Structure 1
Amino acid sequence: MAAKKGKSSEDYVKFGFTFIEKDVLQLPQCVICMKVLSNDSMRPNCLERHLKQQQPTLVLKTKEFFSSKAESLKRMRLDK
């Protein structure tokens, strides 16, 4: 059975997530704690729950805040 490839969405940035590619899958990665979640966690409600439970002080931050964190994370990956 072929692996399912998740669909990334720029709207997930508002929950503090970007995506990394591992093999043929796209996995959500928190831009704050850098934790990589499973492919099943790619649903918006799971991403929002992670944000509320792990970074409750950042819940009211704007999409632009998380976008800048995601850009910074991308630069870190390129430096390696």
Structure 2
Amino acid sequence: MAAKKIKFSEYYVKFGFTFIEKDELQLPQCVICMKFLSNDSMRPNRLERHLKQQHPTLVLSTKEFFLLKQNHSSG
């Protein structure tokens, strides 16, 4: 039985994540450190944990801040 594929939600931007598609899976990507996580990690509590552990100074940042980072890194 195949693992459940979790879909990206725009809500995840508030944790500093966007996504890429690889092998028909959406993988969350941090817009700060550009690290990819597994599809199974595309859950609010896991994305928030990455933000708190890896980028604690950005925990109170706004969704708009992360959108600017995302646009800057992709552009």
Encode CA deviations 1:36-76: one digit per residue, 9 max, x unaligned.
0011100000000000000000000100000111112222x
Amino acid paired to 2:39? N
Give the TM-score normalised by structure 2: 0.91
Where do 5+ consecutive residues of structure 1 fail to align?
76-80
Query: Aligned-pair RMSD on alpha carbons?
Result: 1.3
Q: Secondary structure at the match of 2:11?
A: helix
Deviation for aligned residue 1:31: 0.3
Q: Number of paired residues? A: 75
Structure having the larger proportion of residues in helix: 1
1:40 alignment partner in structure 2: 40
Aligned to 2:24: 24
Cross-structure match for 2:7: 7
Please say which of residues 65-74 and 26-35 is displaced more in the overlay: 65-74
Gap regions ≥5 residues in structure 2: none
After TM superposition, which residue ranges in structure 1, 4 or more long, deviate above 4 angstroms? Answer: 1-4
- 2:49 is the alignment partner of 1:49: yes
